[in-house]
Amino acid sequence: MTRLLLATLALYRRWLSPAIHAISPGGCRYQPTCSEYAQIAIATHGPVRGTVMALFRLLRCHPFARGGLDQVPAAAIPRPHPHEPLT
Amino acid sequence: MPEIRNPNLQTPGTPGGSGGGGDMRSTMAFFVLMLAVLFGYQYFFKPKTAPIAPTQTQTQTQSQAPQAGTAPSQTQWAPAGAQASGTAPSIVATSETETTVENELYKIVFTNRGAQVKTWILKSYKDTTGKPLDMVQPQTAARFGLPLSFYTYEPALTAQLNQVLYQASATGTLLAPNSLTFHYAAYGLDVVKTLHFDSSYVISIDTEVKRNGSPVRALVQWPAGLGDMEEFRPGKAPTGSILTASQFAWLIDGKSDQQVAAKVGGNATLNEPYQYAGISDLYFAAAFLPSVPSDASVVTLHNTIELPGDLSDPSSTKKPANVIGLAVGDQSGSNSLRLYAGPKQMDVLNTIHSIGSDGKADGPTLEPLIHYGWLGIVAKPLYIALRFLHGLLGTGINNWGWAIIIFTATFNLIMLPTRFVMMKSSIKMARIQPKVDAIRKKYAHLKMNDPKRADMNAEIMALHQAEGINMVGGCLPLLVQMPLFIAYFEVLSNVIELRQAHWFWLTDLSLPDPFHVLPILIILSMFLTQFITPSPGMDPAQRRMMAFMMPVFFGFILWHYASGLALYWGTSNMINLSFQLIINNTKDGKELHAIAARKAAKKLGSGRGDQRTIQGRR
């Protein structure tokens, strides 16, 4: 699942994002960009939590937000004996 | 919020991922899948279907008795389940006569055979062949019956009521406001159908059917579709024109809803407080408004007719087409109705109120008959704005094409400041791109989930701040532009005023450009815009791809859909192109071009550097 999501995001960043920016100029008010944020979040926090975090990041991007640096929070320290991931 | 931890999700992140890239082949496959899902969604959810089955199926009667075709003389009719009472005097006509009722908007021809409508011409509209538009579909009417005929639960009685010769109160041509009465009395039956006409599209209908003195429930029907149904358009439907199947539309207790033709049940009786019930296609509707909604009774009619797949070629394979109709009346037996048969035009529909709960004509209007598609929230205001502009232009240049152009230009000018800031920012971005690339390269070996990635972003951010790059506009221009594009699409394909609206060489703004001028113009201008727009952070392959793919993609869409859409996109494109040209000539823009030219020169080798190299070959 993680791989699938990351592949989608990579694909979006490679082909769709330029297409979008070709229609309308613009950039991102946040650094990292939402898609990069999503990639990092999913890679760091797993597909479920990462997706939720990315969605909230998308909601934070609106005309009244100031933008700026908005990093993905660091992952929690893994438990000594993690059970198998659900996916 | 990211801070909130879900205790169920204590699994540490699955390690690794594919490092962002994934292998290219699976990625491509996934891309195709995503597209398929998107298009699939569009395809299946496009017609707004209300999966409401007819709620109260009271009676399922046999299919209607064949009414037309045989046309026997009236003397042949035996009393339908009734004792002939010799005492009542017979009121019958001896020959078939026609009565024409006309006002500014319509010309309706009635026949006294069955007291039905033969043709219902809307004077302000023309069909696709240029003839005046007839609300009665000749093919389906011949098989399934004419408008304003009766529907009863006894096929024999239905046939009789719709075949006998009534005595008309007038023949020849009547001018509205006026009224017309059809009367038939024989064999114990006493049928009166009174119609009132005024200067609007609405007519009112009062009927009474008595058998041996007691009322019989006989509903008034509009049995088989509308004259403008696209299934019956001669010739092949133009590519990209949207086939909007007929719908059954209604309003109960102030709530409107509709059902696509294919899902409408046949001969299902619905006793609900209908404020209106009717059938509608893309641009026209026939809707009954019961005078007493609480006693209303509606029967939906559903037939199929075999039509050649290609209407210009009668020998092509036939496929069934849905033909829907409805019968509306009062549960008591004597009906009092109004009937609206006309265009789904907002101004007109807004003046026609259904009967409200207090029994007066102050209920909701017929306006919900118009649909603006799934992005109605944007499309409807857009339509209102366009209509306002259209009205503002006055009678001199009364043209929807100009309204679209002016609206687009105004809109682009409002967006100009944001656009300007964004363009300046992207020029600055291009200037620092080498530095950003250097930072990215420094961290490139790190995996996506490496905490050190944060340092990279911090470094980039610091660089942005040092250079004074401000991306305050964000994705706003895009978020505004895309819905507007879709809204234009919806308005152009749903609003009747844009049907057959012309602008210079465009004969119909709701159909594709007949001479392919606009799409070509758009492809060229988009390509040019792409070419001269600085877009930092894209590698050349990507860039080349975009420079060609985007214009081709949009060109393809605009080629096949409403030319009004192309008019909008073209206008907006031209404005952006000229604006980009201006920006490129500012100090920053020139500097950027110099950078690009230097880079290109370096890449190609010192001698062959072309000074005029622009962004596309960076």
**Any domain includes A76:** no
Closest CA to B567 of B399, B385, B395, B376: B399
Contacts of B478 (CB under 8 A, 6+ apart): A20, A23, A24, A26
Q: Which has the closest alpha carbon to B264: B61, B117, B57?
A: B57
Residues B405 and B312 in one domain: no
Q: Give the sheet arrangement for strand B219-222, strand by strand.
A: B149-151, B219-222, B318-330, B296-308, B268-270
A67 part of contact set with chain B, CB < 8 Å: yes
- Phi then psi for residue B496, to 5 deg, are -70, -30
Run of H or E including B31: helix B24-45
| A83 closest CB neighbour out of B11, B426, B547 | B11
Residue A83 lies in a domain: no
Contact assignment for A82 to B11 by CB distance below 8 Å = yes
In angstroms, what separates the C-alpha of A72 from chain B's closest C-alpha? Answer: 8
* Rg of chain B over all Cα atoms, to the nearest angstrom: 32
The pLDDT value given to residue A43: 87
Chain A residue nearest residue B537, CA to CA: A18
Q: Is residue B62 part of a domain?
A: no
Mean pLDDT: which of B101-110, B275-284, B290-299, B319-328 is highest? B101-110
On whether residue A79 sits in a domain, the answer given is: no
- Across-strand partners of B337? B205, B290
Looking at the structure of chain B, the number of domains it has is 2
Judgement on whether residues B432 and B548 belong to the same structural domain of the protein: yes
One domain for residues B349 and B229:
yes
Q: Which of A75-79, B130-134, B560-564, B565-569 has the lowest mean pLDDT?
A: A75-79
Domain of B583, in residue numbers: 394-617
The whole domain housing A28 covers 2-68
Chain B residue with Cα closest to A45:
B13
Same domain, yes or no: B356 and B469: no
Residue A44, domain member (yes or no): yes
How many domains does one find in chain A? Answer: 1
B480 and B521 in a single domain? The answer is yes
CB contact under 8 A, A31 and B460: yes
Average the pLDDT over B551-578 and give the result: 85
* B385 in any annotated domain: no
CA separation for the pair B328, B299 (Å, rounded): 6
B362 plus B506 within the same structural domain: no
- H or E element in which residue B256 lies: strand B255-260
In this structure, is residue A11 part of a structural domain? yes
Closest residue to B461, CB basis, from A21, A68, A75: A68
pLDDT digits (tens, 9 = 90+) for B512-548: 888 888 888 888 888 888 777 766 556 667 777 777 8
Q: Kindly state the DSSP code that residue A16 receives in the 8-state scheme.
A: I
Q: Please report whether residue B3 resides in a domain.
A: no
Sort B489 into a burial class: Cβ within 10 Å, 0-12 / 13-18 / 19+.
Answer: buried
Model confidence at B369, in pLDDT bands (50, 70, 90)?
confident
For residues B263 and B342, membership in a common domain is answered with yes
| Helix or strand holding residue B178 (H, E) | strand B178-186
CB nearest to B12's CB, from A52, A74, A78: A78
Q: How many residues does chain A have?
A: 87
Interface check for B464 against chain A (CB to CB < 8 A): the answer is yes
Domain for residue A28, yes or no?
yes
CB-CB contact of B284 with B222 (8 Å): no
Q: What is the pTM of this model?
A: 0.70
* Interchain contact B556–A (C-beta under 8 A): no
Same domain, B429 and B472: yes
Question: Do the Cβ atoms of B377 and B360 come closer than 8 Å?
Answer: no
Q: Which amino acid is at B127?
A: D
Whether A77 is covered by a domain: the verdict is no
Give me the mean pLDDT over the B82-87 stretch: 46
Supply the ipTM of this predicted assembly: 0.73
Indicate the helix (H) or strand (E) that contains B287: strand B284-290
The partner residue sitting opposite B11, judged by closest CB among A7, A43, A85, is A85
Confidence of residue B36 (pLDDT cuts 50, 70, 90): low
CATH number, domain containing residue B315: 2.70.98.90
| B352 and B437 housed in the same domain | no
**In chain B, what residues touch A39 (CB-CB under 8 Å)?**
17, 20, 448
Residues B579 and B442 in one domain: yes
Indicate if B451 and B346 belong to the same structural domain.
no
Nearest CA in chain A to B456: A32
Residue B347 resides in a domain? yes
Out of B272-286, B303-317, B364-378, pick the least confident: B303-317
Domain boundary (B314, B337, B371) is at B371
B537 located within any domain: yes
The average pLDDT across B222-241 equals 60
- By C-alpha distance, the chain B residue nearest A64 is B472
**Mean pLDDT throughout A15-27?**
70
Q: Does A87 reside within a domain?
A: no
φ, ψ dihedrals at B8, nearest 5°: -75, -10
Radius of gyration for the alpha carbons in chain A, expressed in angstroms and rounded: 15
Q: Are residues B185 and B291 in the same domain?
A: yes
Higher pLDDT, B571 or B18: B571
At B596, the pLDDT band (50, 70, 90 cuts) reads low
DSSP 8-state code for residue B60: B
